[in-house]
Amino acid sequence: MSRPIPADAAPSPPRLLRIQEVAAETGLTPRSIRYYEEVGLLAPAARSEGAYRLYDTEDLERLRFIRGLRDDAGFSLAEIRQLLEDEQARARIRVRFRATHDQAERREILVEAIARVDRQVETLRTKIDRLEAMILDARARRDHLAGHLEEVEAGREPTPHEHGRPRR
């Protein structure tokens, strides 16, 4: 549109992908991608003349991010939306940042942006901590069993000791 590319030697051809290509690229289904749009997780960068959805590389990253949160972290789409709103705010912030040259405002914008990222990290960290706790629990059971194993291997008789359940 407003990009005077010399019709040659363009630094990076910003190819836009259609939904099926995006699906193949991200491992999602077209249906899911449309659904994510429906519930406000992302909008395609553009539409073709005939209203085809067209996605850019930023959209791809976003979709991969979504998939990671969904599959790897097991977040609900509602939780994902929260995290993505932080992402979006980050983008808006960048624009505001570039728009101003006021030192104080720039500082404030950055501080805000950092706070948002910190919130994302905290959300993830919370989940990790809970998982870690569960692992500790399991490890306690493991150690208990390992203790018995040592006894057995030493040829000793078992120690029933009221099968001390590890603390919850």
Partner DNA sequence: TCTAACCTTTACGTCAACGGTAAGGTTTGG
Partner DNA sequence: CCAAACCTTACCGTTGACGTAAAGGTTAGA
Q: How far is the CB of 25 from DNA (least distance, A)?
A: 11
Cα-based torsion angle of the residue sequence 40, 45, 46, 52 in order, rounded to the nearest 10 degrees? -70
Which of DNA, a second copy, none binds 89 (CB below 5-8 Å, type-dependent)?
none
Contact 82, 69 (CB under 8 A): no
Reading the block at residue 66, the tokens are 């979504």
Q: Contact between 63 and DNA (CB under 7 A)?
A: no
Backbone angles phi, psi at 43, to 5 degrees: -120, 140
Q: How far is the CB of 78 from DNA (least distance, A)?
A: 6
String marking each residue 68-107 x if it binds DNA according to CB under 7 A: --x-----xxx-----------------------------
Across 50-155, where does the E strand assignment appear?
Answer: 53-54
CB atoms within 10 A of CB 31: 10
Q: Contact between 34 and DNA (CB under 7 A)?
A: yes
Which of a second copy, DNA, none binds 149 (CB below 5-8 Å, type-dependent)?
a second copy
CB atoms within 10 A of CB 56: 16
Residue of 5, 10, 31, 89 that binds DNA (CB under 7 A) = 31
Q: Which positions touch DNA (CB under 7 A)?
A: 18-21, 29-32, 34-35, 39, 48-53, 70, 76-78
